[in-house]
Amino acid sequence: MPALRRLLRRQRGVSYSLSFVLVVPLYLTVMLLAVEAGLLLVTRIGVQYAAHQAARAAVVWQSAEPADLRQERMNQAAWQSVAPFLGGRQRELDDAGPVPAEAREHAADWAEAVRKYMPPAVGAEPGLRRPYSRPYTPPDAAFCERKYLSAAARTTVELTAGTGPHDRLTVTVKVRAPLYIPVVSRFLDPDLSAPFEYPLEATVTLPNDAPVSKDGTLGIQYQSFRK
């Protein structure tokens, strides 16, 4: 006990402990902010890809009938592109908001395709231990479905088309990207309220290469013109 009392009365190292206590929280906050910003940057790449895919879908399906079919195909292209960049936990799906009815119809098909076509892990050379040498396990179907449904609830696809048959098509994809790190997410959220999300947006403009029918309307009828 006397030795313990002498240890508690010693002041050596107190100044260093104070600076450590003051600096470490700030250092951890900066590090966590960098990690969250990196996750948002990766999601931003996915949103840009989703905008391009939705624009390609608009070019292909712009003459489809009924007209609502074009918007449906654009939505599907965007959802499928955004889903890999979102989490699949039930809590994230609950925070995402209402899910479109058409997304629930296609979620199981998308999950099955992901599980079927995802390439298996490559085996390592004999005698070497590598992370990818572990046996390949397909992701859980329910987990994949939640990712797709979350993408559908968080994504908005807008189309701006010209009046002419070959005017350019502009597609804008907006995604409410979830923030994962508890401390810094409060500072990154624009409205500073839960659920913590950060809005991401990407716009892509592509030429409309749809064929023009003889009467000048859009369609798939290729006409042969001879003089």
pLDDT tens across 55-67, in order? 999 888 877 777 7
**178: which strand partners?**
197
Rounded alpha-carbon distances, angstroms, from residue 115 to 16, 53, 92, 147: 53, 21, 21, 13
Q: Kindly give, in sequence order, each residue whose CB lies less than 8 Å from that of residue 63, ignoring residues fewer than 6 positions away.
A: 210, 218, 219, 220
Torsion 43-48-52-57 (CA) sign: positive
Nearest one of 82, 76, 77, 84 to 56, comparing CA atoms? 77
Per-residue tokens: 102:
């058409």
Q: Evaluate if residue 45 carries a pLDDT over 60.
A: yes
190: helix, coil or strand? coil
Amino acid at 94: D
pLDDT tens across 196-226, in order? 999 999 999 998 776 665 665 555 444 444 4
pLDDT of residue 135: 58
Per-residue tokens: 207:
């030429």
Cα gap 196→98, rounded to integer Å: 16
Nearest one of 23, 29, 35, 80 to 54, comparing CA atoms? 80
Cα gap 157→103, rounded to integer Å: 14
Q: Kindly give, in sequence order, each residue whose CB lies less than 8 Å from that of residue 99, ignoring residues fewer than 6 positions away.
A: 93, 149, 152, 153
The percentage of the chain sitting over the pLDDT mark of 70, rounded to a whole number, equals: 73
Note the pTM of the prediction, 2 decimals: 0.77
Q: Do 82 and 45 meet the contact criterion of CB atoms below 8 Å apart?
A: no
Please calculate the CA angle 118-119-122 and round it to the nearest 5 degrees: 150
Alpha-carbon dihedral angle through residues 131, 134, 138, 143, given to the nearest 10 degrees: -50
Residue 22 is classified by DSSP as H
Which of the two residues, 130 and 46, has the higher pLDDT score?
Answer: 46
200: helix, coil or strand? strand
